[in-house]
Amino acid sequence: KQEVTQIPAALSVPEGENLVLNCSFTDSAIYNLQWFRQDPGKGLTSLLLIQSSQREQTSGRLNASLDKSSGRSTLYIAASQPGDSATYLCASLYNFNKFYFGSGTKLNVKP
Amino acid sequence: ETGVTQTPRHLVMGMTNKKSLKCEQHLGHNAMYWYKQSAKKPLELMFVYSLEERVENNSVPSRFSPECPNSSHLFLHLHTLQPEDSALYLCASSQEGVGATDTQYFGPGTRLTVL
């Protein structure tokens, strides 16, 4: 069974810092890897999706990388803002229609 | 309304009750999903429907019964639940059907409490 681990479980940083969230997965035979954001009491919002053939994806201040051989992905957030405070989840698509999720990193960006 | 909607947003029920969760997607997607999110645990996939056919049942107890009458609506019927079933139940949809590798769009969830 695919297992996805996220480190750290929680992170608190001052506004303006650049930060990195980590995600590791046990089986490298994935179709893609996706990063989501979850705000309290709300569903998940897709941030970035990296296909297995890609190394990274960028959207605004966010950059996600994928290293299948080592079973790792990172989400880089540049110049963090208080509005970035949320829980960030990574999920690997290991089989058709089936995402395996990590437990998330809860980020708090202090003004 | 746009996106994926879920009702009710909050539900409290006793162990002997029967209730249903509803999900509706307004995106014209072909696949719909039920997930369970328990405190301090990763999201768990429960069911997958593609074009109204169930294509995945992830070893979910029979006290959870899904129904997909058409490609826009998905229900989760609940009966004789246990307190450990208390969780956030999330619905999602994706454009592709069976064999999908595209992204999923999530609803806001139903917070279920079983007394």
Provide the 10 A C-beta neighbour count for residue A84. Answer: 18
Q: Is the pLDDT of residue B83 over 80?
A: yes
CB contact under 8 A, A101 and B42: yes
Q: How far apart are CA A54 and CA B26, in angstroms?
A: 30
Residue in A4, A31, A101 nearest the CB of B101: A31
Amino acid identity, position A19:
L
Residue in A44, A102, A103 nearest the CB of B40: A103
- Chain A closest CA to B106's CA: distance in Å? 6
Alpha-carbon separation of residue B113 from B20, B23, B39, B86 (angstroms)? 13, 18, 12, 5
What SS3 class is residue A82?
helix
CB contact under 8 A, A46 and B103: yes
Residue of A nearest to B32 (CA): A97
Residue in A32, A96, A103 nearest the CB of B99: A96
- Chain B closest CA to A38's CA: distance in Å? 10
Residue in A32, A89, A97 nearest the CB of B56: A97
Which residues on B lie below 8 Å from A35 (Cβ)? none
Q: Is the pLDDT of residue B99 over 70?
A: no
CB contact under 8 A, B56 and A102: no
pLDDT number for residue A98: 74
Amino acid identity, position A52:
S
Residue ranges of chain A with per-residue pLDDT less than 50: none
What SS3 class is residue B20?
strand
pLDDT number for residue B97: 67
CA dihedral A64, A66, A102, A77 (to 10 degrees): -20
pLDDT number for residue B58: 72
Identify the CA nearest to B47 among candidates B56, B38, B39, B37. Answer: B56
CB contact under 8 A, B103 and A100: no
pLDDT number for residue A42: 81
Q: pLDDT category, B17, cuts 50, 70, 90? A: confident
Amino acid identity, position B110:
T
Q: How far apart are CA A102 and CA B44, in angstroms?
A: 10
Of the CA atoms within 13 Å of residue A75, those in its CB half-sphere come to 31
Secondary structure of B36-103 as H, E, C letters: EECCCCCCEEEEEEECCEEEEECCCCCCEEEEEEECCEEEEEEECCCHHHCEEEEEEEECCCCCCCCC
Q: Is the pLDDT of residue B103 over 60?
A: yes
Q: How far apart are CA A50 and CA A31, in angstroms?
A: 9
CB neighbour class for B72 (10 Å; exposed up to 12, middle 13-18, buried from 19): middle
pLDDT number for residue B102: 77
pLDDT number for residue B54: 78
Which residues on A lie below 8 Å from B55 (Cβ)? 97
Q: What is the mean pLDDT of residues B11-35?
A: 93
Going by the DSSP 8-state scheme, the letter that residue B9 receives in this structure is S
> Which of A96, A103, A106 should we substitute to test contact with B (largest number of B Cβ atoms within 10 Å)?
A96
Provide the 10 A C-beta neighbour count for residue A18. Answer: 11
